[in-house]
Amino acid sequence: MKKILVILLLVGQLVYAQNKKAQDTTENELDNVFITANRTKTLRKETPVAISKITAKIIDETKASALYEIANKTPGVVMVNLGNEQHAMSIRQPISYSSYYLYLEDGLPIRPLGIFNHNALLEINQFNLQSIEIVKGPVSSLYGPEAIGGTINLISQKPSFYPEFKFGIQADQWGYKRIQAAGGATVGKIGFHVAGISSLQENSWMAQSDYKKDNLNVRVDYQINDNTRLISNTMVGNYFSDMSGSVNENDFNNRTYTSTSDFTYRKSEALRTRLTLEHEWNLNASSYLTVYHRDNKLGQNPSYSIRWNPVNNPTTATGEVNSNNFKSYGAIGQHTQKFKFWKTTMVSGTSFDFSPVTYWSYLLDLKATLNPGEIGKQTVKKYEIIAEHPETKLANYTADIYNTAIFKQITFTPIEKFIVTVGGRYDAMKLKYDNALDNSSGSKTYDKFTFRAGTNFNPFQEAGFYGNYSQGFAPPGITSIFTARTGTGGNTGIPAEFYYNLKPATFENFEFGGWVSLFENKLNFDYAIYYMEGSNELLSIKLEDNSTDYRSAGKTSHKGIEFGFNYKPTKQWNIRIGGTVAKHKYIDFKVSDKSTDVLQNLSGFEMPQAPRWAGNSEVSYYPNWLPNFRASVEWQLISSYYQDQVNTVKYAGYNLFNGRVGYKFKRIEVYSNVMNFTNKLYAYTVSRGNLTSSQPSYTAAAPRTFLVGIQYNLSLKK
């Protein structure tokens, strides 16, 4: 199947070369301008990576209640909804919570290196988005560590020249409602844009799932002169959510969406502010300097930290309360220089980030009330807190994180239609810490030079190929470093031991791809074929005494094909097909040092939560007979995948259909989204342990949901 797909794509390009007609005035897909892949405005046909752009039109028509509805329209991207805008991600990786993704806001990381959070995108204001650029595969040579599986750059709305204002409300039948407003204008040399949302969820289909979110974004541009501009951007956000957790198999199948806990929660307070000075020296040279500050407080009583032993102590469990707070002070400077020789463009830059962080967590004693069932295969009906132990710290440290980097990239055209891109970056993360649990102080340094080289070959005006080799690396998150080894610390009486010896994970990626536009730009498709290996990945190993140990020793492989197809036969119809076929395997993954365990190494096994197929396709209709009306049907496909590491049980996956309609009458727009149109029973994720007695955990997905909304749009554009 893979070979057939590749052959068809290549044949299509050759057919187009022999039969292409004169170019019309329609904007070509290959003329789309991207910023993320090269840190400067670059045409797609000059970018040797797999990159996709979600435009303002797509964002506006999706009318998403959560970001995953937008991101999943990108081939190769599966952003997993965990409820209340919480999420996991899968881009060239299995569905996971790993720190292999970099989330940017206007090119600046949302989190500092070392403090990755898989839920970071819940802080984003969807009503402030202009576009989204998604780079698939490692771009560590430009953006640094964690830019491995993918990089998502959320690009904010800019001030409009003419006064504009929009206000809207949306709600569904499950107690969700959101109010949103945005507006901006330019007066003289000053332009501004303000956007705010307030979301509320109460009494949903899932128990223990209320949430509230408030976000405000303010941007002010000051045009100092024709060549110099000062930009201020500030975001303030507050978030609080109950955490319902997963459900057992019986409750899932019966659609009994009760929660095993009524005390778990996640809360976030976030402030991000930045000031950027941009200057164009001449037509061939430009620079910018950004200084920024972050202030983030994240508190949790997380459902995923509940520990229950169904064999030894089935009626008791433990939990934890934790708090992770950090501030950041940083700067990034970049200069872009163009030369006539070989049409060369050179991008050079440096960055510095200082982020002091505090983290603590303490123990909870829980009572577990069991559901009736076979001994050893019982499940928990309810957890209750029977004692809190603030004096029993599971973690308690402060750390100062210093991140320093320099980067350079050169793009040149030695021969016509052949573009070469070479780049490199050196990152040094220095960690100074005080660990109260073992009364230790010290420092750690994680540094790495990453390299990237790629070529673009565009033999035809609207078709081309690219290839690249890129490296990536990710230091261990500091919460992993300061996690006490099993059986030490806490109330065990044994001095705590920590993971000061963890190493960064490293990745190598090889990639080939291409794109083509046919029939006067009515049909566009692109593809990417990749192979990536990871080394020193963090894993948990069972020891002889039945305790577990972290090690930086895992090795994995990731290979696949990503493809996107867009066909617009008339102005009334648009057909989009996109997806990926991939395989994620363990090359070397030693899960046990225990001599009595039959299975000690998972080499050759498929990774869990790794669907072979994933796709998102859509048919949109814009009837001539009813201008300003739109309707679309979307199909989301997730194929089967293994629930466990030992590849014994699979989850069947799902096919899901969504529908959207909208109509604009003068300044008023009304719309409705129907999510899970067929009311399918499915789960966002399913996982289980490796024992034969292990029971699956289902992150249940929402039943059929009707979202309705109305929006007022005002523009004084002449």
pLDDT digits (tens, 9 = 90+) for 82-129: 999 999 999 999 998 888 999 999 999 999 988 988 899 999 999 999
pLDDT band at 293 (very low <50, low <70, confident <90, very high): very high
Q: What does the angle CA 141 – CA 144 – CA 149 come to, to the nearest 5 degrees?
A: 85
Q: Would you tell me how many other CB atoms lie within 10 Å of the CB of residue 336?
A: 21
Q: Is the confidence at residue 30, as pLDDT, over 60?
A: no
pLDDT at residue 6, as a whole number: 38
pLDDT at residue 489, as a whole number: 64
Q: Is the confidence at residue 375, as pLDDT, over 80?
A: no
The answer to whether 198 and 178 are in contact (CB under 8 A) is yes
pLDDT at residue 547, as a whole number: 66
Q: Is the confidence at residue 9, as pLDDT, over 60?
A: no
pLDDT at residue 18, as a whole number: 36
Q: Is the confidence at residue 301, as pLDDT, over 50?
A: yes
Model confidence pLDDT, tens digit, residues 153-181: 999 999 999 999 999 999 999 999 999 99
Tally of structural domains, the chain: 1
pLDDT at residue 309, as a whole number: 78
Q: Is the confidence at residue 488, as pLDDT, over 70?
A: no
- 137: nearest Cα among 456, 558, 424: 558
Domain span holding position 296: 2-715
How many CA within 13 A on the CB side of residue 11?
A: 6
What would the mean pLDDT of 298-309 be, rounded to a whole number? Answer: 89
Q: Would you tell me how many other CB atoms lie within 10 Å of the CB of residue 544?
A: 11
pLDDT band at 545 (very low <50, low <70, confident <90, very high): low
The answer to whether 421 and 408 are in contact (CB under 8 A) is no
The answer to whether 504 and 476 are in contact (CB under 8 A) is yes
Mean residue pLDDT of the chain comes to 90
| Structure token digits, residue 539 | 């894993």
- Cα separation, 554 vs 556, in Å, equals 7
296 φ/ψ angles, rounded to the nearest 5 degrees: -130, 135
- 47: nearest Cα among 548, 452, 450, 589: 452
510 φ/ψ angles, rounded to the nearest 5 degrees: -120, 135
Read off the CATH number of the domain in which 607 is found.
2.40.170.20
What percent of the chain is modeled with pLDDT above 70?
93
Q: Is the confidence at residue 13, as pLDDT, over 70?
A: no
Higher-confidence position of 487 and 317: 317
What would the mean pLDDT of 626-642 be, rounded to a whole number? Answer: 96
Segment among 492-506, 554-568, 634-648, 691-705 with least mean pLDDT = 492-506
How many CA within 13 A on the CB side of residue 636?
A: 25
The residue length of the chain stands at 718
What would the mean pLDDT of 57-68 be, rounded to a whole number? Answer: 95
Higher-confidence position of 374 and 689: 689
pLDDT at residue 45, as a whole number: 86
pLDDT at residue 11, as a whole number: 33
Beta bridge partners of 715: 164
What would the mean pLDDT of 684-709 be, rounded to a whole number? Answer: 90
Model confidence pLDDT, tens digit, residues 568-619: 999 999 999 999 999 999 999 888 887 777 788 899 999 999 999 999 999 9
Q: Is the pTM of this model over 0.85?
A: yes
**Element at 58 (helix H, strand E):** helix 56-62
- Cα separation, 688 vs 648, in Å, equals 10
What would the mean pLDDT of 327-335 be, rounded to a whole number? Answer: 97
DSSP string, 441-453: EEEEEEEEEEEEE
Model confidence pLDDT, tens digit, residues 420-446: 999 999 999 999 999 999 899 999 999
What would the mean pLDDT of 265-270 be, rounded to a whole number? Answer: 96
pLDDT band at 374 (very low <50, low <70, confident <90, very high): low
Q: Is the confidence at residue 373, as pLDDT, over 90?
A: no
